[in-house]
Structure 1
Amino acid sequence: MSDVRCPVTDAVAVTAEAVVVDIEGTTSATSFVVDTLYPYSRARFGAWIDGHSEHPDTRRALAQVRELIGEPAADTARVVTALGTWLDADEKVTPLKTLQGLIWEAGFAVGELTSHLYPDVVPALRSWHDAGRRLYVFSSGSVAAQRAWFAHTPAGDLLGLFSGHFDTETAGPKRQPPSYAAITAATGVAPERTVFLSDLVDELDAARAAGWSTVGVRRPGEPNHDRGVGDHPAVSGFDQVRILPPA
């Protein structure tokens, strides 16, 4: 059942020192990830595994896949099958995200990929950064994928705007409050001085349970739009969010 108790407003003002943003459905179109990035990684899983089996991140991801499927001796073909099954179900499985991130990072580096950002995102990020806010990313996509994403945007390399990146491996599952507490510990910014922007109510609930401020981003056409963001303040774009300096 959709939960649309909090309508989109003209503007939301939040007092914060740190701004943490989700990517898919929040800064960027889910359709780009699903229709462009997913097929790109799917077509390259086997070749990447065979060509980079000694890479520490690849080796760790392969061990995690084999552990999750309960097959310590699984070969490349079996691993690729498992990855494809998780991808079909859009499962946020850490080794899947790790391997996707490595493949995408390589694709961005050679110019085969350029990320997508909604038009309101870059001006807002730059404005908040210039005003002294510390910007972070928390996404189910790996840190490698996040860094590649923001380094290769239509507006150029935006990595300099961010103070850090977190994923499900470095922080934890996005729907669990301890993950947000872990980010608080890493940033050193008090929870009441941190705000999270996401399109998913379960993530917003978890962040609020950890003491963070929250803003739900409800972009028309996104998969989570009709579900709503519960009783969290809601906007349809970053240009409707004012980040005020702490007293």
Structure 2
Amino acid sequence: MIRVILTDIEGTTSSISFVHEVLFPYAAENMAEFVRDGHQSSLEISEQLDAVAEVSGVERKDIEGLIDVLLEWIREDRKETSLKALQGMLWQKGYQEGAFRGHVYADAADYLQRWHDRGLRLFVYSSGSVKAQKLIFGFSESGDLTPFFSGYFDTRVGAKREPAAYQTILNELGVEAGTVMFLSDVEAELEAAASVGMKTVLLVRDGNKPSASSHPVAEDFSEVDALLQAR
């Protein structure tokens, strides 16, 4: 029996376009000023810049060089933990100032509440930082959805296409793999989750279902729920 739902965000609970057409451009437009203003006054920003310098090889004192690295990583959509952390800080500012609201599909918002009320434990696993995850659900167009979640995971547990990351999540949750269902729009992530014993569902939000998949396929969360009920 499924007792835990682990869900991706982009392309699963939320539109890919919101991330790429709203969040990423906002970060690109504001990152330089954000770093220049905060690199001396904010320990949180400073710690992430330490990590950027270590990974990139740019000298820590070269703030403009580090900014150039961050902007390049944004263009590449690089899954670098330090970048994701800084983006999360920036997006918090944007959400709080009302620059945008988090996009969550109406069916996702509906079933997140239904599953929570039914006693399922809900968790997020996304390449975006935990801060960014909490923001998209906390400031969503459907209101604050964070009360429905029991926890959040990001790339600090590992890469989403690596089985070890899902085993780490299982270890932290202390549950059997067969009681967890992972939802994602990326087959490689589902393969990694399935390899450690998790149940999986492929979300296809554009309606173009694949001709073949080794995973159950759903176009929205109502179809995911039907799969849950059938188990």
Q: Same fold (TM over 0.5)?
A: yes
Query: Gaps spanning 5+ residues in structure 1: where?
Result: 1-14
The alpha-carbon deviation at position 229 of structure 1 amounts to 7.6
What percentage of aligned pairs have identical amino acids? Answer: 37
Aligned partner of 1:146 in structure 2 is 133
Aligned partner of 1:49 in structure 2 is 35
> 2: CA distance between counterparts of 1:239 and 1:127?
11
Aligned CA distance change for structure 1 residues 32 and 67 (closer, same or farther; 3 Å) = same
Is the contact between residue 199 and residue 229 of structure 1 (CA under 8 Å) also seen in structure 2?
A: no
Residue of 79, 86, 92 corresponding to 1:92: 79
Aligned CA distance change for structure 1 residues 84 and 230 (closer, same or farther; 3 Å) = farther
Residue of 104, 123, 137 corresponding to 1:117: 104
Aligned CA distance change for structure 1 residues 229 and 67 (closer, same or farther; 3 Å) = farther
The alpha-carbon deviation at position 83 of structure 1 amounts to 1.4
Aligned CA distance change for structure 1 residues 81 and 229 (closer, same or farther; 3 Å) = farther
> 2: CA distance between counterparts of 1:88 and 1:141?
15
Residue of 173, 176, 199 corresponding to 1:187: 173
- 5 Å matches for 1:63-78? 63-73=50-60, 75-78=62-65
Is the contact between residue 104 and residue 113 of structure 1 (CA under 8 Å) also seen in structure 2?
A: no
Indicate whether 1:215 and 2:201 are aligned.
yes
User: How many pairs does the alignment contain?
Assistant: 228
Partner-residue secondary structure (3-state), 2:182? strand
The alpha-carbon deviation at position 71 of structure 1 amounts to 2.0
Q: What are the Cα deviations for residues 157-181 of structure 1, in whole angstroms up to 9, with x where unaligned?
A: 1110000001002x11111011111
The alpha-carbon deviation at position 148 of structure 1 amounts to 0.8
Is the contact between residue 58 and residue 65 of structure 2 (CA under 8 Å) also seen in structure 1?
A: no
Aligned CA distance change for structure 1 residues 228 and 94 (closer, same or farther; 3 Å) = farther
> 2: CA distance between counterparts of 1:76 and 1:109?
26
Indicate whether 1:127 and 2:109 are aligned.
no
Partner-residue secondary structure (3-state), 2:25? helix
Partner-residue secondary structure (3-state), 2:155? coil
Give the structure-2-normalised TM-score.
0.92
Aligned partner of 2:217 in structure 1 is 234
Aligned partner of 1:161 in structure 2 is 148
* One-letter amino acid of the counterpart of residue 52, structure 1: G
CA RMSD of aligned residues (A): 1.9
Partner-residue secondary structure (3-state), 1:20? strand
> 2: CA distance between counterparts of 1:67 and 1:227?
41
* One-letter amino acid of the counterpart of residue 97, structure 1: K
Aligned CA distance change for structure 1 residues 228 and 79 (closer, same or farther; 3 Å) = farther
Residue of 21, 24, 28 corresponding to 1:38: 24
Indicate whether 1:81 and 2:68 are aligned.
yes
Pick the structure with more helix per residue.
2
> 1: CA distance between counterparts of 2:126 and 2:43?
21
Q: What are the Cα deviations for residues 10-32 of structure 1, in whole angstroms up to 9, with x where unaligned?
A: xxxxx311101100011111111
The alpha-carbon deviation at position 44 of structure 1 amounts to 1.3
Is the contact between residue 201 and residue 229 of structure 1 (CA under 8 Å) also seen in structure 2?
A: no
> 1: CA distance between counterparts of 2:79 and 2:142?
28
Query: Gaps spanning 5+ residues in structure 2: where?
Result: none
> 1: CA distance between counterparts of 2:211 and 2:101?
29
Q: What are the Cα deviations for residues 208-244 of structure 1, in whole angstroms up to 9, with x where unaligned?
A: 11211100001117xxx67778311111111101235
Is the contact between residue 28 and residue 117 of structure 1 (CA under 8 Å) also seen in structure 2?
A: yes
Is the contact between residue 102 and residue 140 of structure 2 (CA under 8 Å) also seen in structure 1?
A: yes
